């Protein structure tokens, strides 16, 4: 059962296109499995459409309609990359099936990350993170928002349990350290506005070795 949902402000920002591509993907992954939030987002979209109908019209650029129609059904510029054999054992949300997922990078014997390549935001800090049962992510903080959609398994953070389908939002100043449940591995889609800031020197060293995507 889904217990953690995006706040209404996040859903309205999603529906009105005010989120970055990575943060929007995390919300879309949650909506794929949450009828309640999906309906709420649709409501915001309808409201936006109503405003558009009352707005002053602006002439289209020459051939704008023709070029839009011509792109419908065309091959996406980046193609569609089949999820690797590793990911086939997970039931991924539909928005993620259309994304390009890069090679895995091990940041410890128990944790790997794989970047999600976004067409409109190639430098976005959006990635899959997989951790084995019982593993603790090193204590860290952020300089911006971090959205997480739980795709498989469960983790604990600050006394709360986040199960498959749940959505977590961490603010800029929160120091936290998620721990994966002992019952099984955990896979999440995470997008952050800025790199994690590891609290311990050892964790910062690992982060440097692993690169800057997370």
Using CB under 5 A as the criterion, which residues of the chain lie in contact with Zn ion when the complex forms? 5, 34, 37
Compare residues 8 and 76 and give the one whose CB is closer to Zn ion.
8
Q: Name the nearest CA neighbour of 185 among 148, 135, 128, 138.
A: 135
State the minimum distance, in angstroms, from the CB of residue 93 to Zn ion. Answer: 12
Compare residues 37 and 124 and give the one whose CB is closer to Zn ion.
37
> Phi, psi (5° rounding) for residue 119?
-60, -45
Compare residues 13 and 185 and give the one whose CB is closer to Zn ion.
13
State the minimum distance, in angstroms, from the CB of residue 211 to Zn ion. Answer: 32
State the minimum distance, in angstroms, from the CB of residue 97 to Zn ion. Answer: 20
State the minimum distance, in angstroms, from the CB of residue 2 to Zn ion. Answer: 6
Compare residues 10 and 37 and give the one whose CB is closer to Zn ion.
37
Dist CA 181 CA 117 (whole Å):
28
Dist CA 214 CA 63 (whole Å):
41
């Amino acid at each position: 059962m889904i217990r953690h949902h995006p706040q209404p402000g996040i859903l309205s920002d999603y529906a009105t296109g005010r989120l970055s591509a990575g943060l929007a993907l995390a919300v879309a992954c949650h909506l794929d499995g949450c009828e309640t939030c999906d309906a709420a987002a649709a409501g915001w979209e309808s409201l936006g459409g109503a405003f558009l109908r009352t707005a002053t019209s602006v002439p289209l650029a020459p051939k704008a309609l023709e070029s839009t129609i011509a792109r419908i059904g065309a091959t996406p510029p980046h193609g569609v990359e089949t999820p690797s054999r590793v990911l086939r054992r997970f039931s991924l949300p539909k928005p993620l099936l259309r994304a390009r997922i890069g090679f895995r990078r091990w940041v410890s014997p128990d944790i790997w990350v794989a970047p999600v390549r976004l067409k409109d935001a190639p430098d976005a800090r959006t990635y899959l993170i997989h951790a084995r049962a019982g593993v603790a992510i090193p204590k860290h903080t952020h300089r911006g928002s971090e959205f997480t959609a739980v795709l498989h398994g469960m983790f604990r953070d600050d006394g709360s349990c986040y199960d498959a389908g749940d959505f977590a939002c961490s603010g800029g100043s929160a120091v936290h350290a998620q721990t994966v449940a002992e019952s099984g591995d955990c896979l999440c889609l995470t997008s952050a506005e800025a790199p994690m800031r590891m609290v311990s020197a050892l964790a910062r060293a690992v982060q440097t070795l692993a690169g800057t995507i997370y």
